[in-house]
Amino acid sequence: MTACAKSVGLALGAALILTLPAAAERLVTSVSSHRVLISSNFTGTDIVLFGAIEDDEKPSSQERGYDIVVTVRGPAQTFVARRKDRMLGIWINVESRQFIDVPSYLAVLSSRPPDELGPSDFLRRNRIGLVNHTLQQRIGADFADVVSRDPFRTAFLRVKMDQGLYHEEPHGVTFITPSLFRASVPITGIAPTGNYEVETLLVSGGEVIARQSTAIEVVKTGFEELFAQAAREHGFLYGLVTALLALGTGLLANFMFRRD
Amino acid sequence: MPVPRLGPATVSIYLPIAELPVNLFVILGLGVAVGFISGMFGVGGGFLMTPLLILVGIPPAIAVANVPSHMAASSLSGALTYWRRRLVDLGLGLVLLSGGIIGTAIGVWVFSILLRVGQLDLVVGLSYVILLGIVGGIMLAESARAIMRAQHGAPPIVRRPGTHAWFHGLPLKLRFRQSRIYVSAVPITVIGFGIGFFGAIMGIGGGFLLIPALIYLMRVPTTVSVATSLFITLCTMLIATVLHAVENHTVDIVLAFALMIGGVIGAQFGARAGQAIRAEQLRLLLGLLVVGVAIRVAIDLVAVPREMFTVFGMEQLQ
């Protein structure tokens, strides 16, 4: 089912590329760093994206009015959302849904609010804006992305935004000159490790006239990577070291604080 | 899960396994505070530490896996002292441990099932309210009576060697010399099993359950109860740390170490504070603390939640 949806998406994407007007505009983008390194004092960081709109047509067609949408998507993960309700005076999880292979991190920055950029089906097709992303749910045996007003869908977006993992900035892309822009993408301290896709769209007159993709990688370094690897691959040894550390710390304190 | 807001004046440290930054002083402070209580009352302090860690934003599965090493470190000093004074009943401890290991294994299994079906919070919450409420209530009533007797100048009630309960008729009788009891191994194994089972689910060592069970049910002398309980806490918590590391890969050595450092310092001062207070007053304080935690958890169960929805990654549920 997912594979089917993917192939439909691919076909759609291919059709889209074919229907792109043979415009003269090109996008060039660059990020401040392709690797976010997590060390012991990591609490989050900002990735700055710079971009330029190259226009072959002279005189330039800037009067068309350009808009930029920068979307950053973290590694796909499956989540479980649960809803509480009151039973016998106690709040209990009563209902749950799975969100299958949705971005673990998602940031949408644009030069204007997404809903001003075009009709809603255009926004959904090009995944412009948080609410226009496909969030596939499993409801019983069915897979579907339900209506945007679905309480689980809105709650999922709300919780993710509260955590800082989903982020939307309607004026997060600023133009330095009419053809030069920048955007600052906040990577929160709890951002998962892995590959992040950075997609930049040039939107004008209700269509995408150029797109550019790059990637950043969030990785642990030094001791953080060493510990994570040890915990993953040598569980017994790692547990034994932690247990011995507890014994050692206790013994040391006992020795240091002895009164006789 | 709320992420603690980090101001410019805080020192934060990244937890490589939990994959989130925390305020180092908050974690050290928690270690010291709970270690103090641990040293003062001769309990592990897990019933305080696990809810507190969840409160500061550590996911429950990570909290439960990292409290044991803190308990092991802060109970070591006390266990050593009792061991040197030959107050640990090794035989009683081994019988309790045999039940405890089975209980822990089944508890870890039930924990993962509850996590998957989404009812872990409910079962843990109810267990806290019921177990802590009952044990804390009994402690309060008993210590209040003891304090009143002391004020009226009446002699404290000593052990009643003649008392017989129904379980004294069970087979497999063993003699435990230090504890001065001659009972069947069956009820002791059952107590060990219960402590192990609830310990694994609730993220506690179970000292505050085990000590009253030994004193009031088994008629073991108080000092031997506390000494044996501390010894068992130390052993089970070391085993639990290794088990969590092998089974769930949720032991975060940075978090564990920060908690330990605070814990052993707090425990030293707690032990000194505990010696300055009379035994029945100490039990009254512990009873108040246990009942307080039970009430706090009960409020969380009935109060209207700020957010009706929770979202967890599937990886955290396996």
Report residue B124: phi and psi, to 5°: -65, -45
Which candidate from A43, A83, A253 shows the least CB-CB separation from B265?
A253
Interface check for B157 against chain A (CB to CB < 8 A): the answer is no
Identify the pLDDT of residue A15.
44
Q: Calculate what percentage of chain B has a pLDDT beyond 70.
A: 91
ipTM over 0.95: no
Contact list, A163 vs chain B (CB under 8 Å)? 1, 3
Which candidate from B17, B247, B264 shows the least CB-CB separation from A249?
B264
Which tokens hold the place of A188?
A: 């929160």
Contact list, A78 vs chain B (CB under 8 Å)? 313-314
**How does residue B129 score in pLDDT terms, banded at 50, 70 and 90?**
very high
H or E element, residue A198: strand A194-204
**Structural contact between residues B74 and B39, judged by C-beta atoms closer than 8 angstroms:** yes
Q: Do A84 and B261 touch (CB under 8 A)?
A: no
How many Å lie between the alpha carbon of B83 and the closest alpha carbon of chain A?
Answer: 14
For chain A positions 180-199, those within 8 Å of chain B (CB to CB) are 188-190, 192-193
Contacts of residue A133, defined as CB under 8 A and 6 or more positions apart, other chains included, come to A102, A103, A106, A127
For chain A positions 57-96, those within 8 Å of chain B (CB to CB) are 77-85, 89-93, 96
Q: Which of the two residues, B316 and B299, has the higher pLDDT score?
A: B299
Q: Which of B82, B130, B131 has the alpha carbon at shortest distance from B229?
A: B82
Contact list, B127 vs chain A (CB under 8 Å)? none
Q: Which of B200, B174, B229, B171 has the alpha carbon at shortest distance from B102?
A: B200
Identify the pLDDT of residue B314.
74
**How does residue B183 score in pLDDT terms, banded at 50, 70 and 90?**
confident
For chain A positions 2-41, those within 8 Å of chain B (CB to CB) are 38-41
Q: Do B14 and A224 touch (CB under 8 A)?
A: yes
Identify the pLDDT of residue A13.
46
The burial of A239, by beta-carbon neighbours within 10 Å (0-12 exposed, 13-18 middle, 19 or more buried), is given as: buried
Identify the pLDDT of residue A67.
92
Which tokens hold the place of A42?
A: 């990591």
User: Which residue has 């005076």 as its token pair?
Assistant: A89
What does the pLDDT average to over B104-131? 86
Nearest-angstrom CA–CA distance, A199 and A129: 12
Q: Which of the two residues, A158 and B240, has the higher pLDDT score?
A: A158
How many Å lie between the alpha carbon of A102 and the closest alpha carbon of chain B?
Answer: 10
Contacts of residue A128, defined as CB under 8 A and 6 or more positions apart, other chains included, come to A69, A71, A108, A110, A114, A117, A118, A122, A201, A203
Q: Which of the two residues, B150 and B70, has the higher pLDDT score?
A: B70
Which candidate from A38, A81, A238 shows the least CB-CB separation from B14?
A38
Q: Which of the two residues, B64 and B257, has the higher pLDDT score?
A: B257
Contact list, B74 vs chain A (CB under 8 Å)? 250
**How does residue B167 score in pLDDT terms, banded at 50, 70 and 90?**
low
Q: Do A247 and B260 touch (CB under 8 A)?
A: no
Identify the pLDDT of residue A9.
47
Nearest-angstrom CA–CA distance, B259 and B28: 6
Alpha carbon distances (Å) from A155 to A20, B39, B273, B308, B313: 35, 44, 49, 9, 15
**How does residue B155 score in pLDDT terms, banded at 50, 70 and 90?**
low
Q: In which residue ranges of chain A is pLDDT below 70? A: 1-23, 57-64, 146, 259-260
**Structural contact between residues B12 and B23, judged by C-beta atoms closer than 8 angstroms:** yes
Which candidate from A79, A220, A251 shows the least CB-CB separation from B311?
A79
For chain B positions 75-114, those within 8 Å of chain A (CB to CB) are 75-77, 80
Question: Would you call the peptide bond into A114 cis, given omega within 30 degrees of 0 as the criterion?
Answer: no
Contact list, B83 vs chain A (CB under 8 Å)? none
DSSP-derived pairing of the beta strands A166-169 and A106-110: parallel
